[in-house]
Structure 1
Amino acid sequence: MNPLLNILADGTIERRSQEVTDWGARIAWTVATLLFIAFLYWLMRKGWQNRGASQSDLPDLLPAPAVTGEPRLEMSGRYHGSTTAGQWLDRIVAHGLGARSRARLTLTDEGVTVLRPGARDFFIPADRIRGARLDKGIAGKVLTEGGLLVITWQHGERLLDSGFRSDRAADHAAWAGTLINLSGATDAAAQHDPEAAR
């Protein structure tokens, strides 16, 4: 008979849990698991800090302007991160650019204002926009084909790709086309070759 089953006088079966016979081993395994998780977290945090330190040459972000011109396009969605242009896994974490968040984008003749609740807002001046494209992945985030609007822009000495996903995927094409025209990068090849967009 199964030692975990006990038949009562009225014929019902009572299930009993296995008794812990070695509390010392159970506690040791629990502590070891928690220490391992804490160590992994520390390694990830250290890697994030080291990546930020290696990007210390990146200038501070421009704040969102208080007053802008008439909006040409607006979009609500998510900011999925920024990378070195053309290198979709080389995440930029300096100045809060590595933090994924909700985002509201507004395009005016002055540039793109990115408002992020719970994260740092920033502004991309029109003369620093180098192009735009529809893509499917950035910084470890993979979506369906064309599910991501990627804006390529100059920040200091670096060319960056910043990925956004609209709540309405149909917005992406209009944004990409308008940004390409605004940047003057009419050559379609320049949208996929960061060096050609310089």
Structure 2
Amino acid sequence: MTLFELAAEQKSAEVTDWAARLGWVAGLLLFVALVYWLMRQGWKWRGSLQSDLPELPGMPETPGTAKLTMAGRYHGSTTAGQWLDRIVAHGLGTRSRAELTLTDAGLEVVRPGATDFFVPAGQLRGARLDKGIAGKVLTEGGLLVVTWEHGDTLIDSGFRSDRAAEHPAWVDNLNTMITTTEGAAR
């Protein structure tokens, strides 16, 4: 066989079938849009299931002097002891930056771009260091978890300071405050 005969036998590469490729891209985009819509519907459904949760307490007019302050992130709230059972009602499921202030009146949580909330001192139930909450997992002790009572529900709220070395002081102060408040109530 000569070189010319080999060249004549070779076929050119197949041309891309643009219609099929565009069909696959459109199908993939529709699938992604469907998944996003289903996730949004699930979030709304979870919020409607938690609609019996009362409105969050407002900030007091005179909260008192700050014992501790912390800047960091709010990672969400869950039913106490159920670290994957996220609470989304009243904006508690929205992750955001947060500024915490502990006063004699309670815990003030200011969240730019999300709903602020206040936990009165009488509703605080405990504080601990943990490694995860509502789908967010960190190193052991990397998360400050505050347990508080809202209506008939015990809630765990997770915070991470910009300086994780602050967490133990928060746990000590919150637990001391809770013990003092419970002792005074008796």
TM-score by length of 2: 0.87
- Report the 3-state secondary structure (helix = DSSP H, G, I; strand = E; otherwise coil) of the residue aligned with 2:65: coil
> Structure 2: 5+ residue runs without aligned partners?
1-12, 181-186
The aligned counterpart of 2:7 is none
Q: 1:38 aligns with which of 25, 30, 33?
A: 33
Quote the offset at 1:63 in angstroms.
Answer: 2.3
Amino acid at match of 2:17: D
| Higher helix content, 1 or 2 | 2
Moved over 6 A (4+): none
> Structure 1: 5+ residue runs without aligned partners?
1-17, 186-198
The aligned counterpart of 1:52 is 47
Q: How does 1:1-198 map to 2 (within 5 A)?
A: 21-184=16-179
Q: Aligned equivalents of 1:72 and 1:169: distance in 2?
A: 18
For residues 55-98 of structure 1, give each alpha carbon's deviation from its aligned partner in whole angstroms, at most 9, with x where no partner exists: 00101111233432010000000000000000000000000000
Q: How many residues align?
A: 168
The CA RMSD measured in Å over matched residues stands at 1.4
Q: Aligned equivalents of 1:170 and 1:54: distance in 2?
A: 37
Q: Aligned equivalents of 1:44 and 1:86: distance in 2?
A: 24
TM-score by length of 1: 0.82
Provide the identity percentage: 67
For residues 173-196 of structure 1, give each alpha carbon's deviation from its aligned partner in whole angstroms, at most 9, with x where no partner exists: 0111111111129xxxxxxxxxxx
